[in-house]
Amino acid sequence: MTASGPESAAPAAAEPTAFYHYEYAMEDLPGFAAVLAELPALKIKPSTVDLAEFDEEFRADDLRSTSLAPDGAEYQRWRAALDTSRRRDFHLVNLDSHTGHEDYEAYYAAKIRLVGALEKVFGGDVRLSGNLWYPPSSYRLWHTNEDQPGWRMYLIDFDGEFPDAEHTSFFRYQHPETGELVTLRERPRLARFFKVEQDPDRLFWHCIVNPTPRHRWSFGCHVPDTWLDAIAGRS
């Protein structure tokens, strides 16, 4: 798919916040006009989701665990005491688990076009790894994705702007060398890149929280290791 309109020059390489992390406004990335064009069809709220039932599954103690360091004793005690009779690691909606609704066909077609647009930008294979809807008061608890190493890109958008930049959804990770918890505030039309590794000393522990009234969508992709060079080459 061809991007419409003039393309901006590639932004200067962002400095990693503390580890393998880069963020860009989607509109600043060359070739992303075609990506942005697909967002309206991707940002669905399946009618098969019962939001009242969803809200009942919220667990305040689960949410509190995102403020704990995953290698710390307090987190380990909380984790050991979990009731494992049901899955507790997320409170969100996997869009691909809901296929029997009126928006699914248009959503699926937009996913195919999205992959094509991204492969054109990056010049290599791109695989979707998770298409998620975070309604208000949703979260994904600490995890590493170590079983799927490599570079990840997440396309993040919302159903509106945040009136206060200090009160938004956030992405949090633990620096694998210092143990520092790094919290990244979010904004609409954000592209985030980070690297997942399997070395036990470099695991990328991270979590996501949307404590706001906004609806958040996140579309994850495996991207080529050369993604940054590909963006620079399109300037």
Domain ranges for the chain: 21-233
Contacts of residue 119, Cβ cutoff 8 Å, sequence gap at least 6:
125, 126
- Phi, psi (rounded to 5 degrees) for 58: -60, 135
Residues 49 and 185: their CA atoms lie apart, in Å, by: 27
Q: What is the pLDDT of residues 88-112, one digit of tens each?
A: 789 999 999 999 999 999 999 999 9
In the chain, which residues have pLDDT < 50? 1-19
Q: What is the pLDDT of residues 45-77, one digit of tens each?
A: 999 999 999 999 999 999 999 999 999 999 999
Provide the CATH topology of domain 21-233: Jelly Rolls (2.60.120)
Q: Which amino acid is at 25?
A: A
Q: Is the pTM of this model over 0.85?
A: yes
Q: What is the chain's alpha carbon radius of gyration, rounded to the nearest angstrom? A: 18
User: Helices (DSSP H) in 57-134: which residue ranges?
Assistant: 60-64, 73-80, 104-122
Residues 194 and 192: their CA atoms lie apart, in Å, by: 7
What local confidence, expressed as pLDDT, does residue 235 receive? 62
What local confidence, expressed as pLDDT, does residue 89 receive? 86
Answer yes or no: are the C-beta atoms of 22 and 192 closer than 8 Å.
yes
